[in-house]
Amino acid sequence: MKKKLEVVVLISIIIVSVSCTSTSQKIDNDMEITPAIENIFSRKSVRSYEDKDIEKEKIALLLQAAMAAPSGRDLRPWEFIVLNDRTILDSLSVKLPYAKMLNHARCAIVVCGDSVRSSYWYLDCSLAAGNILLAAESLGLGAVWTAAYPYRDRIQSIRTFVSMPGRVLPLCIIPVGYPSTEVKPKQKFDEKKIHYNGW
């Protein structure tokens, strides 16, 4: 009788264990990927654009998304310069080594920060720039981060063609347009980069 009871208990434990495992897998397999998560996974750097204007409403949404970013002490040191002047875009494409695509972008956003308002302006502005890139993806636009800060020559090149107060520094220029070619998002997940409770 005792052996039968032990066998029954053992079988029950196995059944419960298998049941929990399959339920866990089911939750993993059935987990709904929300549109926001899907948009993050779909984002890519787009450097080639169609010869097509971008609607003002979409530019406004990109800027609203930028200003929805978190900001330390809620200082919001960001400033944004929207470039759509062909002469300025072409001139910057010549001067900036990694922004050659400006010569066929219809629009670009210079993400700037007020260095007097916040000593860590570049952190807040990086979050704002990230929001612009994600919002562009969700609106069917292509965009790419091209760095200005901390390179003095790039900052000076931007100042040559774009007026801004001395305390304001350009973090990056984001060319924006409708993609002219299909670009696949990169799979960057690397489990080896994850550490729990220490290295």
Residue 18 lies in a domain: no
8 Å CB contact between 66 and 126:
no
8 Å CB contact between 179 and 139:
no
Summarize pLDDT for 124-180 with one digit per residue, the tens. Answer: 999 999 999 999 999 999 999 999 999 999 999 999 999 999 999 999 999 999 999
Residue 73 lies in a domain: yes
- Tell me the two tokens of residue 168: 């304001």
Residue 67 lies in a domain: yes
Residue 189 lies in a domain: no
Residue 169 lies in a domain: yes
Summarize pLDDT for 10-58 with one digit per residue, the tens. Answer: 333 333 333 333 333 333 567 889 999 999 999 999 999 999 999 999 9
- DSSP label at 134? H
Which stretch of DSSP H or E encloses residue 5? helix 2-30
Residue 20 lies in a domain: no
* Domain membership of residue 134 as a residue range: 46-177
- Number of domains making up the chain: 1
Q: What is the pLDDT of residue 21?
A: 34
CATH code for position 139:
3.40.109.10
Residue 17 lies in a domain: no
Residue 147 lies in a domain: yes
Alpha carbons 121 and 128: distance in angstroms, whole number: 11
Alpha carbons 107 and 89: distance in angstroms, whole number: 8
